[in-house]
Amino acid sequence: MNQFVLCHNTASELRLFPHIIEIGVIKNPAIRLNGFPCEIDRCLKLYYIQEGKFEWCINDRSYTLFPGDVALILPGTEFGNESNVLEIGCFSWIHLQVGKNEKGELENPAWSSLSDTESYAINKILQSDHTPILQKFTDAGVILKGIQTELFKQEIGFQARVNHLIDEIFIQVSRQFTRMSNPGRDFPKTFMKLEQELRQNLSHQWTVEEMAALVGLGTTLFNEKVKSYSGFSPLNYLINIRISEAIKLLKIPNISLTDIALDTGFYSSQHFSTTFKKLTGYTPSEFRKNHIGTN
């Protein structure tokens, strides 16, 4: 593929794709000073190395990238070469406009055909704490090339194809991240990581699909593994954590039962109350009275 750059406000090819801020390929034959500054942007960036060796800085950490490597730069992350140098080699990239909700989570964009649940899980994976580099991930290069071809040829159905391919990148990149962080050997460790994730977002209405995605398993195998390891189905394990956390909150005065219910992921204080009583025999307010007294 030859060099090119398409920018959203100038390129007619991107007219139908307002979410593609920039897409391009560069072949750089000589070191270029003042060619690759460290910058913070609001878009999500994905780089794929084809040739050469690049020293890039992402969020104050430097990484060396080789052919086949992918760098994923989330919105608001500083990225570039520390000395503002563009090194010799060839790479392709895409910059995408992605919205964030008030919690700072990436939103499921309108053009995407991912369901909200899938998109939530993928964004969770992308935003979880891991290295921004995927090594030897040539699939990403192939997909990027596919997007470029579609954009230039504009054959029938290309609008849908481009958007599908962008989804495809997200899907493959997040799968690769989970494979990388869960090599499929240490279930206790993997389960522990999942449990931490659940606790940090207890108010979220987790689905089994989302949980399985975080671990990098299909739901059937995920259900089976969780059941045999924990004795509970994934959703029952979640209720277990919810009630355990609620018990701690009930012992703190001045937090309303409704707040406790919603913070720990129950639909309503009624739902909380029923579940709590079914298990413990006490209503939440009785339980609270027993443990912190009437005062």
236 binds other proteins (CB under 8 A): yes
How near is the Cβ of 8 to other proteins at its closest, in Å?
40
Among 27, 32, 100, 277, binds other proteins (CB under 8 A): 277
263 binds other proteins (CB under 8 A): no
Residue 181 structure tokens: 């962080």
Among 15, 103, 153, 278, binds other proteins (CB under 8 A): 278
Q: How far apart are CA 40 and CA 175, in angstroms?
A: 26
Q: How far apart are CA 179 and CA 295, in angstroms?
A: 52
In the block, residue with structure tokens 């690759």: 36
Q: Residue 55 burial (CB < 10 Å; 0-12/13-18/19+)? A: middle
153 binds other proteins (CB under 8 A): no
Among 127, 172, 230, 273, binds other proteins (CB under 8 A): 230
Contact between residue 168 and residue 143 where contact means Cβ atoms under 8 Å apart: yes
- Give the contact letters, 186-205, x = binds to other proteins (CB under 8 A), - = no: xx--xxx--x----------
Among 1, 16, 114, 241, binds other proteins (CB under 8 A): 241
Could you tell me the CA-to-CA distances from 1 to 22, 31, 168, 186, 273 in Å, in that order?
16, 21, 20, 41, 62
282 binds other proteins (CB under 8 A): yes
Among 154, 184, 203, 259, binds other proteins (CB under 8 A): 184
76 binds other proteins (CB under 8 A): no
Could you tell me the CA-to-CA distances from 272 to 3, 186, 199, 279 in Å, in that order?
58, 34, 17, 11
Q: How many residues bind other proteins (CB under 8 A)?
A: 36
Binding-site ranges for other proteins (CB under 8 A): 182, 184-187, 190-192, 195, 216-217, 221, 225, 229-232, 236-237, 240-241, 243-244, 247-248, 251, 277-282, 286, 291-293
